[in-house]
Amino acid sequence: MSLTSRPPTLRIHAPTPTTVSYTVSTRPYPDTFPLLLLHHTKLLIRIICGLLISVLLFAKWRLTFPLPEAQQSDIESLVLSGAIGTFAFKIAQAIDWRVLGPACLAVGMGVLTRGYTEESLLVLRGLGIQTSSSSATYLSSSVTRFIPTTSIQDIFIHEAFKGFQVRFYLAVVVSGEEDVVVVFPKLLPRRQILEEVWRGTRKCLHEPPADK
Amino acid sequence: MRYNIAMISDYFFPQPGGVESHIYQLSSKLIDRGHKVIIITHAYKGRTGVRYLTNGLKVYHVPFFVIYRETTFPTVFSFFPIFRDIIIRERIEIVHGHGSLSSLCNEAILHGRTMGLRAVFTDHSLFGFADAGSILTNKLLKFTLSDVDHVICVSHTCKENTVLRASLDPLMVSVIPNAVVAENFRPLNYVEPSEDGQTGTRLPPINLLGPDDTITIVVISRLFYNKGTDLLIAAIPRILASHKHVRFIIAGSGPKAIDLEQMVERNVLQDRVEMLGPVRHEEVRDVMVRGQIYLHPSLTEAFGTVIVEAASCGLYVVCTQVGGIPEVLPARMTQFAKPEEDDLVAATGRAIAALRANKVRTERFHDQVKMMYSWTDVAARTERVYEGISGALPEEEFYGIHAAGAWTATRGRAGVQSFALMDRLKRYYGCGIWAGKLFCLCVVIDYLIFVALEMIYPRSGIDIAKDWPKKRIDGSPNRDKFASLNRSRSSRHRDKR
């Protein structure tokens, strides 16, 4: 929760006049060199941590269910006989399953959690709109939903109770469906952002009158 | 001066009733006068979230747990976070609660004062002093009204009752009656008076009753104990037995409906008593104009809007002389009875006799009622209360000449209630030996919650809702001036903290 407490920012990408993509995201965009460096360092640490715990778990596995030397594959022996491998064996011997399991699980979750939320709305004139919402972890892909123009009845901004607050939301009315489709359902950005998206979407989705 | 007002009550549409329509009519007339009004109520079945009604009246149906007769569970603090959010996003300055049994209203007044807002309370009902339930309710009311800027009652009887129950300074209680939309309650064959004011031609024809013409008695009420349904059940057979050409039409539903049906069946009165079941408010007029007499057997009533509606429809009113009812209509329109079986039967008999003798000019009632009651007038008087409590009116003008110089604990020196926590605690402490301390504790906790909420959900994180677009009246820079005034007040409040 504390990771997503950054106020979401809006990015608009309009390659052609009939296509606009609105992305609302809590992801920080590194634009200066130190920030870029920090970003990549974080990424590297994540990868290393992820590899370490997998080796550690594998070592524990081997310790608990040992195999004869001959059955080990080349990569396995290469990994486990190296410096990291022996270190992993040492730790694995010292720590009990009941501690190691949850600890690895926690680190694994930390490595796999996305740490930011990104939601977008892609508007294509004559085709429809596509909403997408990023998943919480790197394991699953983002959830997308395409709504063709013919079934869009209306797009509006309204307010609703959410927890202890009243929040604005942008919603699409789809014909034949009981509930509206909420755009940016996780982030629920501020009214100013929603209004910009709403105006842009309506302008882009519908053909302008011919004599203007 | 233009105010942002929040009307808060547990009772609102889609539920029918007097309080509900009072809030709606008052709000829409206040909007017409240029104020911004929102309504906060709890969620009804199928009504949750934010809705707009005619004229840009915004209604927040807050999801809450309902315990009894559409009243929410009384939790002292749980409403605060969402209340604060709504108040900030709508930039509310005055909290106006309705109905003393509504816990939402009680909470809102407490939280509103904690947030530094002006609070007004309108009482719509009368209560006893003797039984355990009343004592508890009165204590709760005393708690809420210890720190309120002004109280509005719907009748003088109601004012007396409220002043006694909540130990209030009578100067801070105003009487503003309910009203009716007279256009919705026209008699049959009513001709709209012409604009040129020719009184000779505008009177509708006198409807003379022959001795054998049927007189229809209409009863429209929710069939609850306090509405006097038991009295009605006892009186109907006796009235029908002693008068030959009399019929009854009864509309409404409630727990006593079954008793009423049993009475009809026991006395085999199916052809003379017509039970319509629940009717919608807009159909009330069509039911009323089918009769000549309106019978109102209520046991307790603070105002009784329905008898005004009946008189407006041109019905002669028979009612019990309880609560604020005697203040409502002039004696020529009504026939009073004591709230007991014998007297109700006798009064109905007198009314039937008077109609048969053509002594009552019921066709004039509509125009007279139209002159007496209008929501525009109610809104203007309520607006004056808002001006008085916010200091726009000088103290002498608002409270009368007697108040000058008399400084009381309930009112500050400038005639307006101080927001300082210490002053508020002093007001609550006087409520009783134990109750005073308990109330102070509640207020302190409420204040701490407020401070915590300011940190958890900072004001900067709350979006300001857009006002309903309105045609600008000339000279509206007033609006901007007001906004800056508002800002300076809230910043001052922050500094104090």
Pick the residue of B39, B40, B85 with the most A CBs within 10 A to test the interface with A by mutation: B85
Q: Name which of A158, A164, A167 is nearest B81 (Cβ-Cβ).
A: A164
User: What pLDDT does residue B403 have?
Assistant: 53
Tens of pLDDT, residue by residue over A44-74, are 999 999 988 888 888 888 888 777 766 667 7
Q: Is the dihedral of CA A109, A113, A115, A117 positive or negative?
A: negative
Question: Which residue is closest to A191 within chain B, CA to CA?
Answer: B463
Q: Does B62 touch chain A (CB under 8 A)?
A: yes
Q: Does A6 touch chain B (CB under 8 A)?
A: no
Contacts of residue B248, defined as CB under 8 A and 6 or more positions apart, other chains included, come to B216, B217, B218, B219, B236, B240, B272, B273, B274
For chains A and B, CB pairs below 8 A equal 35
User: What pLDDT does residue B416 have?
Assistant: 56
Q: Does B50 touch chain A (CB under 8 A)?
A: yes
Nearest C-alpha neighbor of B217 from the set B277, B297, B280? B297
List for chain B the helix, strand, coil content (%; round to 5): 45, 15, 40
Alpha-carbon span B205 to B221, nearest angstrom: 30
**Average confidence (pLDDT) over A148-174:** 91
**For chain A, where do the domains classified as CATH 2.30.29 start and end?**
9-27+116-206
Nearest C-alpha neighbor of B334 from the set B300, B369, B302, B289? B369
User: Tokens standing for B432?
Assistant: 């009783």
Tens of pLDDT, residue by residue over B357-403, are 888 888 889 989 998 999 999 999 999 999 988 878 877 778 776 65
Q: Name which of B82, B464, B465 is nearest A161 (Cβ-Cβ).
A: B82
Q: Does B48 touch chain A (CB under 8 A)?
A: yes
ipTM: 0.78
User: What pLDDT does residue B408 have?
Assistant: 53
**Average confidence (pLDDT) over A79-105:** 81
Backbone torsions φ then ψ of B162, nearest 5 degrees: -70, -40
Q: Does B78 touch chain A (CB under 8 A)?
A: no
Contact across the interface for A164 and B457, Cβ inside 8 Å: yes
Smallest Cα distance from B60 to chain A, Å = 9
**Domain spanning A9-27+116-206: which CATH class is it, in words?**
mainly beta
Alpha-carbon span B479 to B459, nearest angstrom: 22
Taken in order of first residue, the domains within chain B and their CATH numbers are: 4-179+375-461 (3.40.50.2000), 182-372 (3.40.50.2000)
Q: Name which of A159, A161, A165 is nearest B457 (Cβ-Cβ).
A: A165
Question: Which residue is closest to B460 within chain A, CA to CA?
Answer: A190
- Judge whether residue A26 has pLDDT over 90: no
Element (H, E) at B166: helix B156-166
Q: Name which of B63, B81, B463 is nearest A191 (Cβ-Cβ).
A: B463
Alpha-carbon span B387 to B398, nearest angstrom: 9
Q: Is the dihedral of CA B382, B387, B393, B395 positive or negative?
A: positive
Which range (A83-97, A115-129, A185-199, B44-58) has the least confidence? A83-97
User: What pLDDT does residue B72 have?
Assistant: 66
Smallest Cα distance from B81 to chain A, Å = 6
Tens of pLDDT, residue by residue over A156-166, are 999 999 888 89
Contacts of residue B282, defined as CB under 8 A and 6 or more positions apart, other chains included, come to B184
Chain A, residues 151-170, CB within 8 A of chain B, namely 158-161, 164-168
Contact across the interface for A166 and B50, Cβ inside 8 Å: yes
Q: Are B31 and B7 in contact (CB under 8 A)?
A: no
User: What pLDDT does residue A64 have?
Assistant: 81
User: What pLDDT does residue B393 have?
Assistant: 80
Average pLDDT, chain A: 85
pLDDT < 50 stretches in chain B = 200-201, 409-410, 412-415, 475-497
Q: Does B91 touch chain A (CB under 8 A)?
A: no
**Amino acid at site B443:** V
**Amino acid at site B425:** L
**Higher pLDDT, residue A208 or A204:** A204
Pick the residue of A2, A6, A164 with the most B CBs within 10 A to test the interface with B by mutation: A164
DSSP of A168-186, one letter per residue? EEEEEEETT-SSPEEESTT
User: What pLDDT does residue B482 have?
Assistant: 44
Contacts of residue B119, defined as CB under 8 A and 6 or more positions apart, other chains included, come to B94, B95, B96, B97, B108, B109, B112, B113, B147, B148, B149
Q: Does A182 touch chain B (CB under 8 A)?
A: no
User: What pLDDT does residue B69 have?
Assistant: 60
Alpha-carbon span B139 to B167, nearest angstrom: 10
User: What pLDDT does residue B241 have?
Assistant: 93
- The residue with tokens 């309120």 is B148
User: What pLDDT does residue B204 have?
Assistant: 57
CB contacts, 8 Å: B60 with chain A: 166
Nearest C-alpha neighbor of B335 from the set B437, A170, B343? B343
